[in-house]
Amino acid sequence: MATVALKDVTKIFGDGTVAVDNLNLDVGDGEFMVLLGPSGCGKSTVLRMVAGLEDPTAGAILLDGELANDLAPRDRRIAMVFQDFALYPHMTVGDNIGFPLRLSGVESGTRGERVADVASALGIGDVLARRPSQLSGGQRQRVAMGRAIVRRPGLFLMDEPLSNLDSGLRAELRAEISGLTRELGVTTLYVTHDQAEALTMADRVAIMRRGILQDVGTPTQVYGRPATLYVAAFLGAPRMNLLEAQVYVHLDRHIALHMGEQTLYLPWNDIRARAVAHYHGERIVIGMRAEALTPVPMDTDGDVLRGRIRYLEHHGHESLAFLDIGAYAVIVDDVGGTAPEVAETRGLRRLGGLVRRMASRGGDGELVPAGTAAHNGHHNGRPGPGGRNNSGVFSDAGRHHRRPAELAVRLAPYPQVTNGHPLAVAVRMEALHFFDDRGARIDVGWR
Ligand SMILES: Nc1ncnc2c1ncn2[C@@H]1O[C@H](COP(=O)(O)OP(=O)(O)OP(=O)(O)O)[C@@H](O)[C@H]1O
Ligand SMILES: [Mg+2]
């Protein structure tokens, strides 16, 4: 049995870097908790503090309910697997896995049995006599896992253990790792910057940004009801569409949500209507995932957005259309690293349009393809168009946080449409997400 509790944990490094900022997190016995966030958000620092490799600057770390701040790493019954795990090259696979047992004086017969058990559970039972150099990347990763679990730790810490592997193998090992840790009933704290990995593996996901915990919940909770704009932007592929909207309350009818050339109407019987009405005359962000949008005939009435297809992406099982709808999208920083594959292809495809748009805007470089982090650090000193305030998501110290929206819509595979084609999509109003200009969710009550 093993539980972890972090109470008001802060880590400030010698140079003043605040790596972890007042973190509170409980990991239950046997739970598979994933720490998710972009590079530099403090994930590894959290793991290292739990392992005892780093001291918290403030706060308490409890293992099994006992204060563990001063406990040496070897007294914590913890095993850790790193991204750049190192196997002993001169030892066989079997000896590598059995090494921790040998260190703790387990006699060779018992050792052999436990190594064989672990190896067969990991599907590497037939390579025990080989050396690491004679293994594939995936097999090596399994050996590192085997070496970590052979001591039957109470708590398993894994820091991006799959990030060096190709995507096929990663998917395979994902399932294996989560299956194995559950079978063993071992509490696991697993770090990744890959949102798909987090959503598929976790019992619960804790999402961090710049040292601060943004949200924690089951994959269904954090995906279905993200606590902040950041979490909304970070989770899911394609990314959630995030549109800037002006709220206008018509007391006798509905709440109008004006988004450039488009308007949607939130009826008063929507449970969030009163909360959204508080923003009368102000800008909010409307989040709509592709699954909230359904293509319909152009003359359809009701909750419909209309636009033209700017470009299409074919993914085999589905196609994505990106619509120019004459509205503005809100750009969220720090979500770049989550889908490099998408960013690359999309970036290439958009390069032509991007260059054209930059040229027409004076080439100040603020427009960047979604999914790249390249806009981070661009401070051009211009206020956001129509900016009401100088903080929040609409403009931040003069940095642009909006660009013409390209609404991501799911279509059947290889649809009979091309770029420039007009398209209408029905919007499932109850599936919309609302965020204020600070990026906090506008909602009634809490989950
Ligand atoms: N020893 C150190 N001294 C100073 N700053 C540090 C130290 N170790 C980490 N940092 C900083 O603390 C922040 C958090 O680092 P951490 O390694 O926890 O991030 P991470 O979320 O694991 O990132 P990645 O996904 O890139 O591994 C970063 O800004 C990093 O530069
Ligand atoms: Mg790290």
Ligand 2 centre to CA of 40 (Å) is 7
Ligand 2 centre to CA of 82 (Å) is 9
**From residue 132, how far is each of 68, 80, 117, 128, 140 by CA, in Å?**
35, 19, 19, 10, 6
User: What's the distance, CA 95 to chain centroid?
Assistant: 37
Ligand 1 centre to CA of 334 (Å) is 15
The pLDDT of residue 86 is: 83
CA separation for the pair 344, 217 (Å, rounded): 30
Residues 6+ apart with CB under 8 A from 215: 205, 206, 207, 222, 226, 227, 228, 231
Q: Whose CA is nearest to atom 11 of ligand 1?
A: 19
Ligand 2 centre to CA of 213 (Å) is 15
403-441 tens-digit pLDDT: 899 999 999 888 888 999 999 999 999 999 999 989 999
165-209 tens-digit pLDDT: 788 888 888 888 888 888 888 999 999 999 999 999 999 999 999
Residue 42 Cβ inside 6 Å of ligand 1? The answer reads yes
Helix ranges (H only) for 241-363 are 273-277, 340-360
- Ligand 1 atom showing the smallest separation from residue 208 Cα: 21
Give me the tens of pLDDT residue by residue for the chain, a chain 447 residues long: 699 999 999 999 999 999 999 999 999 999 999 999 999 999 999 999 999 999 999 999 999 999 999 999 988 989 988 877 789 999 999 999 999 999 989 999 999 999 999 898 888 999 999 999 999 888 888 899 899 889 888 899 999 988 877 888 888 888 888 888 888 889 999 999 999 999 999 999 999 999 999 999 999 999 999 999 999 999 999 999 999 999 999 999 999 999 999 999 999 999 999 999 999 999 999 999 999 999 999 999 999 999 999 999 999 999 999 999 999 999 898 886 433 333 334 444 444 334 334 333 333 333 333 333 333 333 333 233 333 333 466 654 434 478 899 999 999 888 888 999 999 999 999 999 999 989 999 987 433
Residue 193 Cβ inside 6 Å of ligand 1? The answer reads yes
294-316 tens-digit pLDDT: 999 999 999 999 999 999 999 99
Domains of the chain, CATH where assigned: 4-226 (3.40.50.300), 231-370+385-435 (no CATH)
Residue 35 Cβ inside 6 Å of ligand 1? The answer reads no
Phi/psi at 319 (nearest 5 deg)? -125, 150
- Ligand 1 atom showing the smallest separation from residue 83 Cα: 27
Query: In this structure, which ligand is nearest to the CA of 337?
Result: 1
Query: In this structure, which ligand is nearest to the CA of 42?
Result: 1
pTM score, whole prediction: 0.83
Residue 15 Cβ inside 6 Å of ligand 1? The answer reads yes
User: What's the distance, CA 364 to chain centroid?
Assistant: 29
Residue 16 Cβ inside 6 Å of ligand 1? The answer reads no
The helix or strand, by DSSP H or E, that contains position 242, with its residue range, turns out to be strand 241-250
CA separation for the pair 429, 416 (Å, rounded): 27
Identify the burial level of 11 via C-beta atoms within 10 angstroms of its C-beta, where 0-12 means exposed, 13-18 middle and 19 or more buried. buried
